[in-house]
Amino acid sequence: MKKTKPVADGLREDRGYSRADWDEVDDNPEMTEAEIAELRPFREVFPDLAAAIDRKLGRPKAEMTKKAISLRLDAEVIDRFKAGGEGWQSRMNEALRKAVGL
C-alpha cells in the first residue's frame, strides 16, 4: 500500500489537490456586507415553517394537569390497583380524590 503524506490542513498530496485548488472551487465564499445587510430572521422569511416547528409534539395539555411525584406505598396497595388492569394509576388518583373529599 502506498504511504500518503498528509499536509497541515488534512489534504493528501497523493490526490493531487492543494489548498489553493480547494479555495478556487470553494462553494461557500464569505458573505459581503451587502449580503449580510439583506439577511432576515428565519421566522420572518418562513412563518408557516417556523409555526410548524414550534408546534409541540405529544399529547395536548389536559384541562386539569397532573403533577409527577415520588411516593412510597405498600406493595399490596399497588398490587391491588394493578390487578384491575390498565388505568390503575387513574383509579388510584380517583380513590385519593375521594379520600380527601374532592
Considering the domain boundaries, does residue 50 fall inside one? yes
Domain membership of residue 88 (yes or no) is yes
* Number of structural domains found in the chain: 1
Cα–Cα dist 24/88, whole Å: 68
Residue 48 lies in a domain: yes
Query: Is the whole model's pTM more than 0.75, yes or no?
Result: no
> In the structure, what pLDDT confidence band is assigned to residue 22 with cuts at 50, 70 and 90?
confident
Segment 38-89, tens digit of pLDDT = 999 999 999 999 988 887 777 777 888 888 899 999 999 999 999 999 999 9
